[in-house]
Structure 1
Amino acid sequence: MIETRTWSIPLTRTPFLLGNRCLARPSSSLICSLFCVLLALPCLVHAENAEPAEERTKAATGKFGKFITVAAPLTDQVDRSVRRQAREALQAAKLKGEWPTLVFVLEAGSSELGKTLDLAKYLSSPALQGATTIAYIPEQIEGHQVLLALACEQILMAPDARMGLAGKDEASITPDIVSIYQEIAGRRRTVPEALVLGMLDPKYEVWQVESPMGSSFVLKEDLEAAREEGAVAEEIVIPAGEAVFFTGAEARTELGFVQRLASSRQEVASALNLSRESLEETVSIEDDWLPVRIDLQGPLTEKRIRQAQSMLETARREKKNFICFWIDSDGGDPAESLSLAGVIASLNPSEVRTVAYIPRKAHGDAVIPALACDRIVLGTEASFGGPGDILMTDEDLPSLNAGLKDIAEKKFRSPRLCQSLIDPSIELLRFEKQLDDLPLQRFGTKEEQEAWEADGWKVAGVVVKQGELLQLTGQEAMNRVPLAWETAESFGDFKRLFGLERDPTLIEPGWIDTLVEALAHPAVATFLFILGFTAIWTEFQTPGLGVGWLLGGICFLLFFWSHYLGGSADWLEILLFIAGAFCLVIEIFILPGFGIFGLTGGLLMLSSIILASQTFLFPADSYELKQTAQTMLSLMVAGVGSIAAVVLLQKVLPYTPYYNRLVLTPPESTSKSMSGLNQGPSAEEQLIHQVGKAVTRLAPSGKARIGKKVYQVMAEGEFVEKGTEVRVLEVRGSTIVVRSQEA
């Protein structure tokens, strides 16, 4: 359909009379003008049709922007990274011929004055005059981190984010500090100077005054001058002696120094009309991409997922900065797919770029690893989402939705949109809102509709009905909903998108990967624990053989080796375990009795095993919480299994011939050994109720002198120190059981 426009054409009129009306007679110039218009009409119609397409393209891509995270506390490394990213963004915008928008995301915390002042001067210097600088505060900033917000041209905050207490890290606010804040605030004039001083030092009292010139903020000492200039209304904003924080909502609606409110980076990008690529962190590349490829094709079984995790760790060890996941699958194991996605999402986006390439299909849980990647590239007619090989049950969906929500938020995607790909119970709605003449959209459910409509959002349509799964083609995933970054007809097109000159190196599982995968399996790891602890306990009961030490050492060596190659253990965990074992040796053989070294050694060894079983220190999301629970369960099973094995050895095996051959016992005379049981009690049995003295520490096994001979004995109950008198209680086979006389 061709839209019509009204064109204004100047006419030369020659008046003539017709009755009492004065009319205009068309001249020759009018005829020429109309003729020219008719000739130009096809061009105008073509331009009319082309213009909306150009506008649609511009709306889809957005303006050039860059999100740059400023961590707190600010270090020299963070400062260099911020400057490098800003410099690279300016150069990239210059090559594209666009005006860049730099959004500095200020993380929660505070920093030293010297470092923040240097960076604030850079942000407000001529070096960034070729860009629009914006400070975004998603949570809370305090201390001298506030100085960085003042150095930007605009400030955006989350509604419940807070900003204030700029001077909290200073024992006293000196005139030099005041002048620093006045200088930075004066460069941008983003926040009124009186409010800046009120956030810096509680001694300042700040008033808001209304005058014919408008609203302004003044200090108490300047209030009289404001009255003389015609102030008609006054209101105290910051009372003297009060340290203040301003929320984003207050700063926007009451104070006016926050230009927009945004709860997430996505909302910031939408509000500023920035491209989707602006949300991504910059990867530090010294020379070029170092690309590798990991295939996820066919059924995603537990074995296939664990191989992929092992190959991913191989890529990390080799410092690869571009990982392509080639996905062509109908899924297979939702829990394992979520586990792999958690590992992918945990990769530092400033060190490695992860891309999911889906030329044909990703159905069922196969979409979960793709959603954890930084970018998704689909074939034009590829199928993304929809039913897979495994039907996810109502019991599976809550944990999958929780994990997928965490992953989507990490990758700046709509959680509800991602969940609708695997959960048919979700009726997905698209909401729209106009903010400063810019159209915004988000995705949610009917349960969220009332709250969102109260905030100005309106339902724009149903994306997928309840009882169905969201299923998209490549084009739909890029244009209908914001999931795909780009489409590619072939892998050659994929390589051109990222400037790859050669095919990424394909990582395939080898025999070592298979062995590592098997040893790192929770069931095998638990068995290694049980066998290792039991072997070491056996060595304590039969000192001198060394078999227990050897077998226990091999078990723990295999455990740490498999987890080291699997990526969950590093030298820290290994050194912690060695230090713990060393503390136990000190407790048992060198400084017995106090228990400090024993307790410390046990805690160190336990900590090393827990850390070696997972890739994080403390759980930060539902996936990591689940993995921590699995680790603790494995340790509990290993502990119970070890105790059961020890009890079995202590109660049953001492009476078996095989075990007797492993136990060191005092040599018996040949005549005794040949005489059989009918010759009366053995020499050991004659020792019952006799008193002797421990010649070594009994922990619980050791040696004691009874009569004129030294016997291998085992203490019952508490350990017995060297030199303590002991009484023989009983003889179990060839084992002499004693107890301290002091007990």
Structure 2
Amino acid sequence: MPRDVVRTLVAGSGLLSLVLFAGISLGQEAPNANPPADANKGPKGRMITIRGSIDSGLKNRVINATRTAVREGAEIIVFDIQAGKSDFGASLDLANAISELGGKVRRTVAFVSKPVTGHGALVALACDEIVMAPDAKLGDVFGDLPVDARPIEEKAYADFGRLKGHGTWIPLGMVNKDIRLVEVKTPQGKRFMPSDKLDEFKKGVQVLDSTVIKEAGQRLLLDADQARSYGLARGTAGSRKEVATMYGLPESTAAEDILYVEAVRPILVKLEGAFTGRLHQYLLRRLKQASSEGSDLLFVQIDSTSGEVAAADGIAHALKSWPGRTVAWVPKQAIGVATYTIFGCDELIIAPDAEIGGFEISKASKEEYQALADSAVDMSKGGKYPEAFVRGFVDPNVSVFEVRNKANPNLISYKTAGELENPVVANEWDKARRGPLKEAGISLTMNGKTALSVDVAAGEASTRDELKSLFDISGTIPTLQPGWVDALVDGLTSVGGTVLLLFIGLTCLYIEFQMPGFGIGGLVATICFVLFFWSRFLSNQAGSLEVTMFLLGLILIAVELFVIPGFGITGFAGILLLFGSLLLASQSFIAPSNDEESWEMLTNLSIILGVIFLFAGAAVASARYLPAFPYLRHMVLAPPEQVEENDAEASYYGEEESGAASQYDHLLNQTGVAMSTLRPAGRMELDNEYFDVVAQGEFVDAGTPVKVVEVYQNRIVVRPSNGA
């Protein structure tokens, strides 16, 4: 084959292969094969807009957004400053917060996109670098206001100027109108100073030229060119996109940021007092109510120092599964198991002097602590909590360290001792020189200021107004109030409600056992015990076990009374089951595991025993006095000593009370034989006929001769005939 033909075929096949490869590559949609142009380009960054007057609310929102950016790994944070007249205190706090980012990010940048003439200038000076829009201006802090700068204000501007390499006099000229500033050119470069210091300066340094840049009586207001000329600004940029390009950030960084998603329908629920099963069930009802009302932001106000781990775990998981955004707010304290609940929320807002932590479980093993810590970490995923501190709060056996990235020492994070034992982690991070932030064997507790400094808390708010300002919420935040069910449950589970339900229930149950059939006593007893177990069920204290024990106890007692002769093990077992069911239904645990639960169990025992003593007294009184009442004497068994008295009274009342004559009147004073044990009801044989009868005074064994002593409508009352 000719060489030219071969060369042509090779070239053609190569070109065809290239075209096919290009076509296949263009046709594929695999993200790894054709990543977006913006992906993985340059350092990770974030732009945060500071718009409007800087007050405590805006300050907090910006600080929270900054913390979020740091947690998400931002290396460069750009603050788009569009602030007007601002509060000095809030501006100074924000400037300090931005300045302290030096140990956590690579660089902070102030983008002055619009004229900034208030204390927003202080925020710009706190950044590592300043970039200005061509038509922007910076300075003249007080404008036309007839005020003079206070020493504290002058000091703040001078300090941040020195700290960020801008010098003292340019920043000071923005707030002090009395000084006259000059620009001095020397062989070594430019210097800025008050004009009254120029002569002294010339004595030691060669001055090439000097120019007045600010006259006394006015404050310094710099445009973009002046700021660059004076070394205050690094450069100019006409848009956020240009700023992103200037620092090698992805274009997506320039998108308009949202400090917080607007809460269309915020709502607040309070979790106060001990964390118990009752509080857990209360929260479930409130979460359902919040969802039905269309709320999308739930503030959970926590104020607690005690509780049960199981209840806290249930509350935390309920909050985690709620479809909207959840924010834990701790204005005072969340001590003990309440701390665990925080990690079920998306983020924590805390007052500076509030306290969280102190999570401890009596007699818990290391494995139990570790399991709870694993659960807390799993819940906190997607939230704004450093994992090391989540473990540190829940597991006292964990130690937590501050670490610095070896490749970028400005990046700070937090790791547990266990994590640092991993060679991969150890090769990436170095422990800070100071000791552990939390030592093993000590329960972790911290105040709000510390929680904010280590990124456990996302924001600061001591009052509801500050909370509203933090989330830019206008109007009020509705509070979920307890409903009638909650009020009823609280009343029924209180000491007074418990005593009343049990006393009435047991007394009516005793009366029912003294009557044939199902009467008013059984109805009232049923209502009392249904209310008792229902309220405990809604309090997460009772379940199927307690109800089963109670019903089985009643059955065993009934069998003992009406089937088995005497009173033995069956009746005793029934009483124990009744007692045990009432006790277990009064608490959320079976056996106490700590002093608090032991005290609770002792209190419940005292209440139940007290009710039993009251019931015993009521039972004796009912047996003695109820048969004396004309109507009740026909329904309640009388003791033997009252039989003659009752018979005489029955003769006195005669037809007048009993009404129409009974079809069994002819049996009166007749003698038959008990065909079954009368407990007190049973059957009697008389003249080869069988009758349903009730024994009076005492139980009667089968085969005993009995005499009919009273007939009341369809009720036949007998007693042993004693040979008569």
The TM-score bracket by the shorter chain reads 0.3 to 0.5
TM-score for both structures, normalised by structure 2: 0.40
Larger radius of gyration: 2
TM-score for both structures, normalised by structure 1: 0.39
